[in-house]
Chains A and B, each alone.
Chain A
Amino acid sequence: MKERIISPALIAVGVLAVMLPPAAFMLRILTNLNPELFALYFNREIICLFLYTSLLASVAGFASTLLGFFVAFSVELLGPGLSSRFKTLFLLPLALPTYLFTFSWLGFLGKRGTLAQFQMPNLPLNIHTPGFLIFIFVISSFPIAMLLCAIGIRNIPSELIEAGRIFSRKNLLKKIILPLLKPYLLASFFVTFFLFFSEYVTPSYLGIRLYQNEIFTQLGAFYNVQGAGILSLPVFSIAIAISSAMLYYFGKRDFCVISGEAKRFTGLRASPEREKIVLPPLLLLAFLCVGVPFFMLLAESELAFAKAASIAKNEILNALALSLLSSFLVTLFAFFTVLFVKNKFYLNLLVVSPFSLPSVLLAISLIHFYQFSFFYGSVLPLIHGFFLKFLPYSILVLVSFSEQVSKSVEEASEIFVRGLGRKISRIFLPLFSKGIAASFFIVFVLSMSEVSVTQLLAPAGFQTLAVKIDILMHYGNYSCVASLLLLLMLLVFIVYYLIEGVKWKR
């Protein structure tokens, strides 16, 4: 009975909180749209730019997914201790805004950078190229793909891996792992593709003109929200198109679900000799995506941690409170939605809606949504902004855990466990625990470094750590910026280990 009420209630909340603000905004744009206006924005040059950006986003999405899969697969070949350490290490790039990778690499490879000081002044590297942009994007965003693929690998039934090893050891990857991971790989591609479309600071820093910069030019130079909205329409359409294609491809099943039982170990562990083959590329990647930014930040920080912490004391507390609360709300809603709402089309819409608009327009849609309400001017619209922006990640992660609850466990719980609350606390929460932890962590990390939604929705007098870092960077206060970023990485580590430490008592 309770389930019958909960499901529509969750759908209502989802429609109201997730789909309505961007839909109302787009509706406002579309109702004022006439063919002349459309032609004004979509000339041949803009269409070419859109296609070019889509191409780069596809390459970046593909490369991130490939790298994410490679890392997720490789770490499974290592022993549990090493595997866990590598995974934690590779999640760290998520804590840093992408443009900071650009700065670190400029400091490393630039004409007066670290390498140039070590008598390597004539490296034939031009970092102001689309190739370098993709490189920066891939090393900063592949952890999302890694996380999704790691979940997928854990979901592959161990019997299948055993069978694969016995009958066709060489084809284990080709015949067993890759086909079963297809939904996760596509989900990774989907997420990283749209992340690329929403990244505008790094292309601008590298002097590369992309479609998203046209959208921001409409806002930043012409203060033309309608123009920005019209230019967002192709992104909106592409989000719908990719999602629909995925739905069709997977026969109307959710694109991120495969059956199987999650387990702690996959049975993929390699022999010590093979481990030695896997380690060097993983170490190289760790150097590229964590080592370079970490050491550049350490060198720049002048170890001014105490000073930086005292400057940004309130901002650290605000960011922690906001990120923890947002992660909690997002994960809670995603968990109940995945558990009670079986309509895959609805779940897909929940994922697609926030991706269809750039963050700034998403925030403006929330200003329109809230500005006559009692809550406007409080922290609630900002929490809502984070909720909207990060819900897709949480849904994608938790959906992949949803089929871990086998029918037999569900039936047994119907017979032996009374009450919905008990069923949730005794059966579903423990079964979803790793997914909940992963979702919580990923939303937390992304929230800690969020700037654009915060800037438009934060109440006056409220500043977060990411905003403070951005402001300090503008002043050229590099030692404070570097120290705060290292503190941010430390906070991420602490939260990761706290989440890992949550015990589910049998």
Chain B
Amino acid sequence: MPGEAGKFRVLPFLLAFAPVVLLLLLNPNLREKSENVVVVYVAHDQDYSEPILEEFEEKTGIKVLALYDTEATKTVGLVNRIIAERENPQADVFWNNEPMRTIKLKELGLLEAYCSPSAGNIPQNFKDKDCYWAGFAARARVIIYNTNILNDSEAPKSLYDFTDPKFKGKACIANPLLGSTSTHMAALFALLGEEKAKDLLRKMKENGVRIVESNSMVRDMVVAGECWFGLTDTDDAFDAIKAGKPVKMVFPDQQTFGTMVFPNTVMLIKGSKHRENAKRLIDFLLSEDVEKKLAETALQIPVRKNIEVPEEMKKLGLDGVRAMNVTWEDVYANLNKSLIFLKGEFLK
């Protein structure tokens, strides 16, 4: 009791913490000290990637120590961690959910080339020519709209609909400096040319497009009716559709230049401490079997044309989506230019 001198029993107090310390030390994940492990940093959604990694564990007996990215720190999470750890890398493999930051890591010299035999039949535009990374199981950029507010015929079908005065202040996009939205903007710069892309974005801004934190936030805003429609990724839109929310998705610009289709990417980290296990995991992730599973569970589009897509995917039109005709090198070359414009003008 404050203000009263008395006897404090230190021992029981300290003993109370013994289980806590034990719990920490005996944590099954931390206890794993053998060499038969592989450390993987995963930017792909945990819901879908965890079962894949568990299957790898079962098949190979190699323990997978995974670290998943979070939405709150996604923009500053794993990629910054890999950069900060460059002198003493902890990750063996990085399973990224898009290609731009992957190319950035390659440029920084943080990746090691590995030509996986599983990547043999992956189309050239979905992998690095020097084997620093390979892509699989793609997502697409979609317009998600609230069906309580817009019917199918009223729903926007193009990025240019974001500039339509009848939708003034009703559309949302995620922060265009971050994540797949930034890649999408850079892709527009690469595809349309700098001036046309800037013009489109200026008009979007004039039409009161709202900027929110992330793609999942775009989805939530549309679900809540705060925005009538928004630009997001297929996985975010699919989560809401699966949950029975009043939303639908549409692939933009299918009659003109198409939408951005971007793959997951996997790469070997330079200085990896478990190289052989890392290579086995990369081979596994790039296998046709994994692409097929990701198509079934996460509705991700296989980059190989020979993989049969599930019925649900066909219903949503994911099998025949028209993709933008750009190379990732072109997109990356435009990334900084687009970021400077977006930061300096679009977001002001």
Binding site for B on A (CB under 8 A): 45, 97, 99, 103, 106-107, 110-113, 128, 154, 201, 204-205, 207, 209, 216-217, 219-223, 225, 261-264, 314, 317-318, 320-322, 324-325, 328, 360, 364, 367-368, 371-372, 376-379, 401, 404, 409, 413, 425-427, 429-435, 451-452, 455-456, 458-463, 467, 470-471, 473-478, 502, 504-506
**25 A-B pairs (CB sep. < 8 Å):** A103-B220, A106-B226, A112-B225, A204-B212, A207-B210, A207-B211, A216-B76, A217-B178, A217-B343, A220-B177, A223-B79, A320-B20, A320-B23, A325-B17, A371-B88, A379-B24, A425-B9, A432-B2, A455-B72, A460-B40, A461-B66, A462-B30, A471-B47, A505-B7, A506-B4
Give the residues in chain A near B243, CB-CB below 8 Å.
Answer: 476, 478
Chain A residue at minimal CB-CB distance from B108: A223
Minimum C-beta distance from A257 to chain B (A) = 15
Minimum C-beta distance from A194 to chain B (A) = 19
Minimum C-beta distance from A361 to chain B (A) = 9
Q: How far is the CA of A404 from the CA of B1 in the complex (A)?
A: 12
CB of A474 within 8 A of CB of B71, answer yes
Q: How many A-B residue contacts, CB cutoff 8 Å? A: 233
Q: How far is the CA of A367 from the CA of B178 in the complex (A)?
A: 23
Knowing A426-B5, A460-B40, say if A371 contacts B73 (CB, 8 Å).
Answer: no
Instruction: State which of A322, A364, A429 has its C-beta within 8 Å of the C-beta of B80.
Output: A364
CB of A434 within 8 A of CB of B32, answer no
CB of B8 within 8 A of CB of A328, answer no
CB of B70 within 8 A of CB of A471, answer yes
Instruction: State which of A128, A433, A475 has its C-beta within 8 Å of the C-beta of B1.
Output: A433
Chain B residue at minimal CB-CB distance from A318: B27
Give the residues in chain B near A456, CB-CB below 8 Å.
Answer: 73, 76-77, 80-81, 84
CB of B5 within 8 A of CB of A430, answer yes
Residue B15 lies at the interface, judged by CB distance under 8 Å to chain A = no
**Which 9 A-B residue pairings sit nearest by Cβ, starting from the closest?**
A220-B75, A112-B225, A461-B29, A461-B65, A429-B8, A506-B6, A221-B177, A460-B65, A204-B213
Give the residues in chain A near B47, CB-CB below 8 Å.
Answer: 471, 475, 477
Instruction: State which of A220, A325, A430, A473 has its C-beta within 8 Å of the C-beta of B71.
Output: A473
Minimum C-beta distance from A328 to chain B (A) = 6
Majority DSSP secondary structure for residues of A touching B: helix
Give the residues in chain B near A222, CB-CB below 8 Å.
Answer: 339
CB of B210 within 8 A of CB of A461, answer no
Knowing A324-B17, A475-B239, say if A216 contacts B75 (CB, 8 Å).
Answer: yes
Give the residues in chain B near A205, CB-CB below 8 Å.
Answer: 212-213, 217
Chain B residue at minimal CB-CB distance from A506: B6
Instruction: State which of B84, B148, B236 has its C-beta within 8 Å of the C-beta of A364.
Output: B84
Residue B45 lies at the interface, judged by CB distance under 8 Å to chain A = yes
Instruction: State which of B7, B21, B210 has its C-beta within 8 Å of the C-beta of A506.
Output: B7
Query: Of residues B212, B223, B224, B343, which shows the largest number of chain A Cβ atoms within 10 Å of its Cβ?
Result: B224
Q: How far is the CA of A322 from the CA of B239 in the complex (A)?
A: 31
Given contacts A106-B226, A217-B178, A434-B2, 10 further A-B contacts (CB under 8 A): A264-B3, A324-B20, A425-B8, A455-B73, A459-B29, A459-B67, A463-B68, A476-B239, A504-B8, A506-B6
CB of B67 within 8 A of CB of A461, answer yes
CB of B3 within 8 A of CB of A263, answer yes
Give the residues in chain B near A201, CB-CB below 8 Å.
Answer: 72, 213
Knowing A364-B80, A368-B84, A456-B80, say if A430 contacts B212 (CB, 8 Å).
Answer: no
CB of A433 within 8 A of CB of B2, answer yes
CB of A225 within 8 A of CB of B80, answer yes
Q: How far is the CA of A500 from the CA of B2 in the complex (A)?
A: 13
Residue B104 lies at the interface, judged by CB distance under 8 Å to chain A = yes
CB of A461 within 8 A of CB of B80, answer no
CB of B175 within 8 A of CB of A204, answer yes
Q: How far is the CA of A502 from the CA of B16 in the complex (A)?
A: 11
Chain A residue at minimal CB-CB distance from B24: A321
CB of A460 within 8 A of CB of B67, answer yes
Give the residues in chain A near B10, CB-CB below 8 Å.
Answer: 425, 429
Q: How far is the CA of A505 from the CA of B8 in the complex (A)?
A: 6
Knowing A112-B225, A452-B72, say if A261 contacts B24 (CB, 8 Å).
Answer: no
Q: How far is the CA of A389 from the CA of B45 in the complex (A)?
A: 28
CB of B216 within 8 A of CB of A476, answer yes
Knowing A367-B84, A426-B6, A430-B7, say if A471 contacts B175 (CB, 8 Å).
Answer: no
Contact with A along B162-180 (1 / 0, CB 8 A): 0000000000000101100
Give the residues in chain A near B46, CB-CB below 8 Å.
Answer: 471
Residue B90 lies at the interface, judged by CB distance under 8 Å to chain A = yes
Give the residues in chain B near A476, CB-CB below 8 Å.
Answer: 216, 219-220, 223, 236, 239-240, 243, 245
Residue B199 lies at the interface, judged by CB distance under 8 Å to chain A = no
Chain B residue at minimal CB-CB distance from A433: B2
